[in-house]
């Protein structure tokens, strides 16, 4: 069983709070209106979700009324089952992931052993969405948007326009490289980030799924890194490099310049290669014509 804990609420802006939760160092957010209280993500188990809702009510003096799940991974999603009497919003693809098998690191047996509950307890959002949803919390409207897939098959951004705060889920991570898994769609990921940064102001704050709150420059840098990850993998395939060749280069001469740490690249490679090969990217026949 992994160690569960919830940190202290940190105020981001007026009526907006973040708390970090273990075992996955996930950020859970709180947006407080005159009437409603909206929680962003739910922690890693029903028990943790229940405790987060209790801690939120303790902070605000009113119960949580709305919950948004930014995507289907365990540390964001699995707490939802412990939070009662709320309107819960998530991408409709979450409903396909109630068996606990979607997450790259978590299968049903691991859930029982490490997270301490049975995956049959999982529940989906009461109010599944596809593209956009607005929630009026009283004096404050929260917009929830799906701008295409990137990190997962169910990525949502949560925007609080009056305070210029954006919750990104794992579309942005600042504690390490963003995670690329079997359900990631790296090709469309940068474009989805553009959807929020193109409307952001210099003072906009971004709350990532993991790691410290950042400004637009860090998000733009990460967007560029994700884009470069995709194009570099494409170049490697065109040069005729296999995954083993790339890993050997990562561990040795490092002739290929990657935007992520070697371990992150090695983890992402099978998913990048599968997606690129499915698009028909193959070794280029022209490359041996050196200098021409
Ligand atoms: Zn994730």
Whole-angstrom CA distances from 226 to 46, 232, 245 are 32, 10, 21
Give distance in angstroms: CA of 168 to centre of ligand 1.
11
Ligand 1 centroid to Cα of residue 124, in Å, is 16
Q: State the pLDDT at residue 157.
A: 98
pLDDT digits (tens, 9 = 90+) for 15-24: 999 999 999 9
Quote the ligand 1 centre to 277 CA distance (angstroms).
24
Do 81 and 135 lie in one domain? The reply is yes
According to the model, what pLDDT value does residue 104 have? 58
Single residue among 163, 186, 216 that ends a domain in this structure: 216
Query: What would the pLDDT profile of 22-62 be if each residue is shown by its tens digit?
Result: 999 999 999 999 999 999 999 999 999 999 999 999 999 99
Q: How far is the CA of 121 from the centre of ligand 1 (A)?
A: 20
Question: Residue 286 domain-assigned?
Answer: no
- State in Å: Cα 201 to ligand 1 middle: 26
pLDDT at 287 over 60: no
Does residue 169 share a domain with residue 272?
Answer: no
- What is the sign, positive or negative, of the torsion defined by CA atoms of 23, 24, 26, 28? negative
Residue 52 lies in domain: 5-216
184 Cα–ligand 1 center, Å: 9
Percent of the chain with pLDDT over 70: 95
Domain presence at residue 266: yes
**Averaged pLDDT for residues 109-132:** 93
Average pLDDT, the chain: 95
Task: Kindly state whether residue 96 falls inside one of the protein's structural domains.
Answer: yes
The pLDDT value recorded for residue 292 is: 46
Enter the tokens of residue 265: 């690249």
Distance from residue 28's CA to the centre of ligand 1 (Å): 13
Task: Kindly report, residue by residue over 198-237, the tens digit of the pLDDT.
Answer: 989 999 999 999 999 999 999 999 999 999 999 999 999 9
CA of 178 to the centre of ligand 1 (A): 9
Tell me, in angstroms, the distance from the centre of ligand 1 to residue 164's CA.
23
Pick from 177, 194, 216: which residue ends a domain?
216
**Residue 17: predicted pLDDT:** 98
Q: Give pLDDT, residue 55.
A: 98
60 CA distance to ligand 1 middle (Å) = 27
172 and 236 belong to one structural domain? no
Ligand 1 mean position, distance from CA 158 (Å) = 15
60 lies in the same domain as 195? yes
pTM of the model: 0.95
Cα 269 vs. chain centroid, distance in angstroms?
19
Q: Of 106-110, 132-136, 156-160, which range is least confident?
A: 106-110
Determine the distance separating the centroid of ligand 1 and the alpha carbon of 200, expressed in angstroms: 23
Dist. CA 155 → ligand 1 center (Å)? 9
Same domain, 176 and 239: no
pLDDT at 257 over 70: yes
Same domain for 89 and 184? yes
Note the pLDDT of residue 109. 87
CA of 249 to the centre of ligand 1 (A): 28
- 6: exposed, middle or buried (C-beta count within 10 Å: 0-12, 13-18, 19+)? middle
What pLDDT sits at residue 239? 95
Q: Are residues 106 and 129 in the same domain?
A: yes
> In degrees rounded to 5, what are phi and psi of residue 120?
-65, -15
CA–centroid distance, 32 to ligand 1, in Å, is 24
For 55-103, what is each residue's pLDDT tens digit? 999 999 999 999 999 999 999 999 999 999 999 999 999 998 887 666 6
CATH of the domain at 91: 3.60.15.10
Residue bearing tokens 């004096």: 139
> How long a stretch of residues is the chain?
292
Residues 149 and 171 in one domain: yes
How far does residue 291's CA lie from ligand 1's centre (Å)? 43
**What separation in Å is there between the alpha carbon of 181 and the centre of ligand 1?**
9
Same domain (yes/no): 257, 133:
no
Q: What is the pLDDT of residue 71?
A: 97
For residues 149-159, give the mean pLDDT. 97
User: Are residues 19 and 153 both part of a single domain?
Assistant: yes
Q: Clarify whether residues 18 and 126 are in a common domain.
A: yes
Based on the domain organization, do 254 and 178 belong to the same domain?
no
Q: How far is the CA of 285 from the centre of ligand 1 (A)?
A: 37
CA of 77 to the centre of ligand 1 (A): 9
Single residue among 216, 241, 260 that ends a domain in this structure = 216
- Please tell me the distance between residue 75's alpha carbon and the centre of ligand 1 in angstroms: 7
Q: What's residue 277's pLDDT? A: 97
Domain membership of residue 179 (yes or no) is yes
Residue corresponding to tokens 């170049």: 235
Label residue 230 left, alpha or beta by phi (over 0 means left) and psi (-120 to 50 means alpha): alpha
Number of separate domains in the chain: 2
């Amino acid at each position: 069983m992994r160690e569960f804990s919830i940190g202290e609420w940190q105020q981001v802006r007026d009526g907006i709070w973040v708390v970090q939760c273990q075992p996955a160092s996930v950020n859970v957010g709180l947006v407080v209106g005159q009437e409603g209280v909206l929680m962003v993500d739910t922690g890693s188990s029903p028990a943790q979700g229940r405790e987060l809702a209790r801690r939120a009510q303790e902070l605000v003096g009113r119960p949580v009324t709305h919950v948004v799940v930014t995507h289907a991974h365990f540390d964001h999603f699995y707490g939802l089952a412990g939070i009662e009497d709320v309107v819960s919003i998530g991408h409709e693809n979450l409903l396909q992931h109630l068996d606990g098998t979607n997450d790259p690191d978590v299968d049903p047996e691991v859930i029982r052993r490490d997270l301490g509950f049975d995956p049959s307890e999982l529940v989906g959002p009461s109010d599944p969405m596809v593209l956009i949803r607005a929630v009026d919390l009283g004096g404050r409207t929260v917009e929830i948007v799906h701008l295409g897939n990137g990190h997962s098959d169910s990525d949502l951004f949560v925007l609080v326009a009056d305070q210029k705060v954006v919750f990104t889920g794992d579309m942005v991570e600042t504690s390490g490289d963003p995670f690329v898994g079997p359900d990631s769609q790296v090709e469309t990921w940068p474009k989805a980030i553009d959807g929020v940064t193109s409307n952001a102001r210099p003072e906009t704050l971004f709350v990532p799924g993991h790691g410290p709150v950042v400004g637009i420059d860090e998000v733009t840098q990460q967007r560029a890194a994700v884009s470069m990850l995709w194009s570099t993998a494409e170049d490697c395939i065109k040069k005729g490099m296999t995954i083993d060749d790339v890993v050997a280069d990562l561990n040795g001469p490092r002739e290929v310049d990657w935007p992520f740490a070697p371990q992150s690249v090695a983890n992402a490679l099978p998913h990048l290669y599968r997606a690129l090969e499915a698009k028909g990217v193959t070794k280029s026949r022209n490359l041996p014509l050196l200098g021409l």
